[in-house]
Structure 1
């Protein structure tokens, strides 16, 4: 059984059912039933047109469920509209499905879960394992997302149906990209590589929509993912960027990311993902950490801060300023930020160490370790504090 084929067909099959008149929840259930049937019957013989086969089976499952629900007589009329078996329609509604999963009524976590289920073709169990939560918890999250869409009147007959191709009031491209970025940042856990899945889905979006920020996001993902093998040591501990073995970086992914980014930047419609990708490209371009062009990185952080006004961006900019103009300049930039920001103490510790103040740096590393979001980062910061404490004051 070609699982990759099934996953690639899932969003377009679901989109066909929604466009024909099925509400999202019912369509998704019908498609899952069709996938189960495909797993059962395809090993003996894969149909000539797999998508058409799935559409036909899913539509019949939807009609069977509709006929069994006498309270929904309006949908009962759809039984007379069943299309004759044949090739799947050429129109691709997959992008509209992305928009639907990024509906503004959904929370970010619900949008991510629904995207992975409906567009990514992952099972509830796979998504739960990836997010390290019980399967029942993830099933409830996905069910709530479907109910939210239904409760907000999202159906093929509502809202902007005519203008949006029959999908109600979806989110916009920016929201879709934000959801995919959230998926990518989950990285890898369980038996699902969410970083790779996010790249796959973002490639699909860039093929469906002509938007420089979509290309910028894909470039950013590729450039970050290229460093993945060098980010951890053999014992699982974190390896800071400056200490990574750059021979382990994926040069193919870097070259592709840079080429995509250059094409996006040439359109002169700068967005935050393009700016972030430009910073990642400058890191990737440096043969060694010492040869990093920190001056340009500061300039790109200035661009990014103007686009987002994010305190996290300004925190990262303080690090870049410290590298470009010295630790005192970095500490001055840091002084303007809220100390309660995540990783503020870690950045302060690094800059104080570079400024020749190991006592303050050790204290701040220990403080940062207590606030670390995961075990690997906490262990890394604790080791930094222990290293400086063992050295003692100069």
Structure 2
């Protein structure tokens, strides 16, 4: 999966800029494009966040027209890539027509005033009340609109932990009833009941937290195996935790190449994160090792021609991942070590061995493949049944 922040592609008409880069994105081995919110943004109390939605059926004119969006989706489909949209169900902008026409759809305080989502500090948005059945119906209708009219292939549902289980269950059931459409539904949350509601994937924040402890606090590499096991405990077969080393929320603070020490550390972190289990996410700009934080509230130009060897390394890693079912569906066997994450994965006659030095220093370790000497942040990937 490739996360598209339209604001790193162009200052305006971003859909056309993304369309022009589809061949390049496809060459990474990507089969899903996740677009951050593309909808019209509210102006009242606005901080220019794309997650402040004024109209769920209107596009942000900053990104282009509906025809340009539809053309971009069509071209992505030609290349075998699905397109999913960020869906912000928890709240709307303060100048949404919903507030004017249906104030009863919103959460209110004891004085009857509409409030922002409690405990968030998100003062630019108004909290929706999911006890209101009419609001639910309108929300689901708007979700269906993008699938039926513009051919999108699913949603990444923002702040999914804030939204009641029974709404997601209702929405997923109705979306999956659309004829002749196979949808991908991702919940931005950690609740396991997202899978009971019918989502295909949710977020692997626990693994990212463990990765940070390993890199920042010298926690043992075995902490990663423990986090992986904990996240997958009790999950139904076929359900997936989305694994990532960065995304739009993380990159605001610091890019992966600084979060994980340097370019080599970030690449080692990516292998350790995605090869052990789960779905794979690349945040657009990550593949060129963009060295600064990205504020997604404004246009941030990215030089896509920078660091070509780093991009080629991402291509190689994703290509190997795509070519080995063991890395997507195989059983995991851990070989414990405090400095090197070592594991093998098997599925049918496919078998892969992976060793990742998660330290910024050379390490020598005993492994099933014999003694391994790894440079700082070096990783080894071996096809055992080639």
> TM-score, normalization: structure 2?
0.25
Q: Which has the higher strand share?
A: 2
Q: TM-score, normalised by structure 1?
A: 0.24
Q: Return the structure number with greater helix share.
A: 1
Q: Relative contact order, CA 8 A, sep 6+: which one is greater?
A: 2
Structure with the greater alpha carbon radius of gyration: 1
